[in-house]
Every structure is written in structure tokens, then in C-alpha cells.
Amino acid sequence: MTNERWIKAAPWLWSIGLFVVWEAAVHIFEFPVYILPAPSDIWGAIVKYWSPIWKNSLQTMFTTLLGFLLAVVGGLALGLAIGWSRAIYAGLYPLMIGFNSVPKVAVVPILVIWFGIGTVPAVITAFLIAFFPIVVNVATGLATIEPEMEDVLRALGAKKMDIMLKVGIPRSMPYFFGSLKVAITLAFVGSVISETVAANSGIGHMMLSAQSQFNVPLVWAGLFALAVLGIVMYAIMAWLEMRMTGWAHRSGNRP
Amino acid sequence: MTGFVELRDVRLTYGGKADGTLALDGLSMSVKKGEFAAVVGPSGCGKSTLMKLATGLINPQSGTVEVANKEVSGPVSIAGMAFQNPSMLPWRTTLENVMLPLEIVQPHRSRLKSEKKAYIEKAESLLELVGLKGFGDKFPWQLSGGMQQRANLCRALVHDPALLMLDEPFGALDAFTREELWQVMRDLHGEKQFTVVLVTHDLREAVYLADRVFVMSARPGKMINERHVEFARPRPIDLTYEAAFNDIVHELRGQIADARAAA
């Protein structure tokens, strides 16, 4: 095999290698299943509990995506506002820093008081945790317009709106799409946290119930389901980013 | 008779009147219509500030700035600008970059949609004029630095400005490319007869291109000399190796050295 093909195969080889070592370690050291189940035990649990895992995965996916979409809309709007006006920036930035420094799990009890246990707190937690990186990135894109570019356009009589539409917003798009990768991962964290603390469904809730029944392989199966969901959502965002702002990822081998 | 670009006794302070930096003080200059003027001076003398004043991006604290016999109080849309940084937008093709001013300046802005074809032809003929024929659909990052700077000149000229303001446009280029672009600039000016104010620290560039070279003092900047350059046009590039040419460069160099020493 050429070097190139080794590199292509590497992700698969390493992943398979990890599971093989894991499986072997469990058998050699004879870990009890409630400490560390072998991958084969976890696979067994996935097959056995496929129906609840699938149902709860859909629920988690749904809350994550809904929270994420709200974060995209809210983050984009706020980011543009902050990038637009220095007064809005000066006023809102400290507030946002303060807000962002509150761990979002601490907000869940308040959300439960307001909305009760269930889907709504999970969606809102996902939103709260995901929107900050979007705001910061969009605002950064707007704030880093080259002054020469601005001068060239202003000297032509361009209004602020023109500069935003022609330069600022297209310019901030790579930042925006880049932040989506971070935001979707965070939204996922938010919804699972909330499900674990206060929900009747979702992977987080399923793992908590499995734990209380000492069904350790199912807890791990939940973890795997989360990993798969996370990777899929991240990959979709990465694809979207390349698709929308390919010009920012220029390299020699692009057609 | 007053000039096309007329600055009279201009004073400008950055960052507050009382404790700010005095950038320009008592600066006057007058550039005739169609003339190619170059401004040279020690670094930090406020050359770039001059650009912003003449295009109306900033207003002086005292003194007046007139362009085309009108006092400048806001951006003048009859000007085109080009800086050392070509600042092409990477998501637009070269042609789309060149056509950007047409999306901003009236009356082109409202005509652009209906007469798109004519405007594209115009932009393409400009690209051809600077030697970028066939590169319109390339993205800026696929072009070399010199080619980007050519496109930058096209962008500054696409809306037929009566005044072209250049701020060290060839400063970041290698010596050969620079000489090439001097000739491009010479030909553009020869053909279109717009007024040019070129801010530069390259004295050979100033003498080769300009009809008149203004020498600025160290900060706070004002004009301490102006030198007519009377070589016949169009000027061959070999001129820059002749004794008469070098005498003028030397003379200007001496003046700037004095200005620096006086600071």
C-alpha cells in the first residue's frame, strides 16, 4: 500500500484497533461488566435495546436540532447587531460574557420551574449554550473588515448598509459556518445535560434510568449512540461549511 | 484659476483637538485637471491622511478642501481609490471585484441590472488594458500580487472617476513588476486623462509618472516644495536610467533628507 492509502485507512484502523485492545483488556483483566463492559457486551445491548435507543436518539436529535436552529437565528441576528453598531457592542458584550460564564446546567432548574420537566427545558438549554459562539464569530467577521476596503467603498458614497451587504456579511460567513460546527456540538451537550437532569425521554434520560437499574451495558450503549449522533451532526455541519464558503478554504487542489 | 483638487491651509489633528497628534498643519496644494501629481515625504508625514481628506473620508479642522470646484464635506463619489493592499474580495471573481464600484456609485448602480452586458464589456476592456485579458473569471487568490494590483487599478477606474487617488499602490511589488505597472499606469493616464494624486515613498516612481511632485515636511505635514517634471509623454521606461531623470530624483531625495533632519 502506498503512503496515501495508509493515511486514508488510518481512521478505520485506529478505531478498530481501539476496540480490539479494549475487548482484549476486559477479557485479560477480567473486569466485571458493571465496571467496564467489553465492546461485544455493549454491541449486545445495542441490539437488544435497539427500539428504545432509536426512539430516544430521535428525541435527543430533535431537541438538539431545534435548540440549534433557534441558536442560529438568534446568534446570527445578535451577531449582526453587535458587528453593526459599536454602541450595541459596548452595551451587550459585558452582559454576554457574564451570561456565557454561567454554567448552563445551573439554568436547568429554573427552566424546569418555568416549563416543567420535558422537551422544552432541553431545547432551551441547547439554545442557550449554542448561541454564544455563533454571536462571537459573526461579530468577529464583521469587525475585521479591512479598513482599506471600507475606505474604498465609503469614498464611493457607500452607506453602512452597502458595506455590510457587499463586504461585511459575505466576509463573516466562513466564521459563521465555522461556528456552526462548534455550536451543534454544544447544543448536543446542552440537550443531553437537560435530559439527564429533567426529562422523561432522550438518550440522557435513558442512560440515567439504565444506571439506576445497574444495566451498565445499556449506559454504555447510550454513550455510543451519543457519539454516533454527535459525529453525524458535526459531519453535516462541516459539509455545509465547505459547501457554502469553499472560497475561504482555498488550496492548490481545488478545481 | 483654481485647481481640480484644491487644499487650502488645511489643519488636521487625530484623536481630540487638545491632546491629539497634529497630522497636517498649514497644508496647501493645488492639482490641475488631468494632471498627474505625486506626493512624497518622510514616513509618517501624513501622506495617507491627505488621501482621506481629498476623498472626503475625513474633514479638516480648519482650512478648506475643494474637488472639482465644490467644497468637500462628505465622500466624493467622483474619486477612485487604490491602496497598497489590493483588498480584493475573495468570494468574488476578478471581474466581479472590478465591477464592485458599479454596484455602489450612481448612476451606474441603478443601471447595472438593465445594462449588465455593456458594463461587463467595459470592465473586461479595462482588464485587457492592464494586461489581464481572460483572467476575469479567476478568483483573486489565483492571481499573483502584481496581477491583483492591476485588478485593483481596474476597480478604481471602472466607474470613470475624474480623480484617481493612489496610496503607494506599487509598494509591495517586486522591482520588475513595479516597473511594469508604472507603464500600465502611464498608459491608463494617457488614455483616460483623469486627474491623479499618487502618494508614494518611491521617488523614482514619482518622477517617472508625475507631472508635478509635491514634497511634504515631517509631521505635522505641509508642502515644502513642488517640482515640475517636464519629460515628454509618453515616457519610455529607459528614461529612469538617464542622467536628467536621476538628477531630479537626487534633488528630491536631498529635500526629504533635509525635512527628516529638521524634524
Distance CA A71, CA A132 (A): 8
Short-list A223, A241, A143, CA closest to A183: A241
Inter-chain touch A157–B156, beta carbons under 8 Å: no
Query: CA of A54, closest CA in chain B: separation in Å?
Result: 41
Mean pLDDT of A73-83: 90
Residue A251 lies in a domain: no
Is the pLDDT at A254 greater than 50? The verdict is no
Asked if B104's CB is within 8 angstroms of A157's CB, the reply is yes
Look at residue A12 in the predicted model and tell me its pLDDT. 92
Which chain B residues have any C-beta within 8 angstroms of a chain A C-beta? 52, 55-57, 75-77, 79-83, 85, 87, 89-91, 100-101, 103-106, 139, 141, 155-156, 159, 165
Instruction: Extract the runs of DSSP E, i.e. beta strands, from B170-221.
Output: 195-199, 212-216
pLDDT for res A253: 43
Q: Let me know if residue A135 belongs to a domain.
A: yes
Mean pLDDT, rounded, for A200-212: 91
pLDDT computed for residue B198 by the predictor: 93
- Within 10 angstroms of residue B128's Cβ, the number of other Cβ atoms is 14
Q: Taking CB atoms and an 8 Å cutoff, what residues of chain A touch B140?
A: none
Any domain includes A193: yes
8 A C-beta contact, residue A143 and residue A83: yes
Q: Supply A239's cell numbers.
A: 459539509
For residues A19-33, give the mean pLDDT. 93
Domain that holds residue A103: 52-245
Domain covering B1-78+163-263 assigned CATH 3.40.50.300 in the classification: yes
User: Rounded to a whole number, what is the distance in Å from the CA of B147 to chain A's nearest CA?
Assistant: 18
CA distance A117 to chain B (A): 46
In a domain, A2, yes or no: no
* C-alpha span between B55 and A152 (Å, rounded): 10
Break chain B into its structural domains and give their ranges: 1-78+163-263, 86-161
Q: Which residue of A has its CA nearest to B97?
A: A166
Are A222 and A210 a contacting pair, CB within 8 Å?
Answer: yes
Cβ-based interface (< 8 Å): residues of A facing B: 146, 148-149, 151-158, 162, 166-167, 170-171, 173, 245, 247-248, 250
Chains A and B: how many Cβ contacts under 8 Å?
A: 67
Q: Do A155 and B100 touch (CB under 8 A)?
A: no
> Is the preceding peptide bond at A37 cis, omega within 30 degrees of 0?
no
Chain length of chain A: 255
The count of domains in chain A is: 1
Q: Is residue A175 part of a domain?
A: yes
Task: Check: CB of residue B240 under 8 Å from CB of residue B180.
Answer: no
Nearest partner of B163 among B55, B20, B241, judged by Cα: B55
Which of A149, A155, A250 has the CB atom closest to B141's CB atom? Answer: A250
Query: Distance between CA A104 and CA A109 in Å, rounded?
Result: 10
Handedness of CA B58, B94, B116, B184 (dihedral sign): positive
> Do the domain assignments include residue A20?
no
CB nearest B83 (choices: A148, A157, A173): A148
Mean pLDDT (10-residue bins), chain B, 263 residues: 82 74 86 91 80 86 86 82 87 91 84 84 87 88 89 89 90 86 90 90 91 88 87 88 91 87 76
pLDDT(A250) > 70: no
Residue contact A157–B77, C-beta within 8 A: yes
Structural domain contains residue A190: yes
pTM for the whole thing? 0.77
Contacts of A173 in chain B (CB under 8 A): 91
Residue B2 confidence (pLDDT): 72
Query: CATH number for the domain including A178?
Result: 1.10.3720.10
* Residues in Cβ contact with B146 at an 8 Å cutoff, skipping those fewer than 6 apart: B173, B174, B177, B180, B181
Q: What does the pLDDT read at residue A69?
A: 96
Q: Is residue A144 part of a domain?
A: yes
ipTM above 0.85, yes or no: no
Angle B205-B210-B214 from CA coordinates, rounded to 5°? 95
Set of chain A residues whose Cβ sits within 8 Å of the Cβ of B76: 155
Q: Could you tell me the sign of the dihedral formed by the alpha carbons of B252, B253, B254, B258, in that order?
A: positive
Provide the pLDDT confidence category of residue A252 given band limits of 50, 70 and 90: very low
For testing contact with chain A, the best of B53, B67, B85, B91 (most A CBs within 10 A): B91
- Position A158 scores a pLDDT of 85
Higher pLDDT, A105 or A134: A134
| Interval A140-154 mean pLDDT | 85
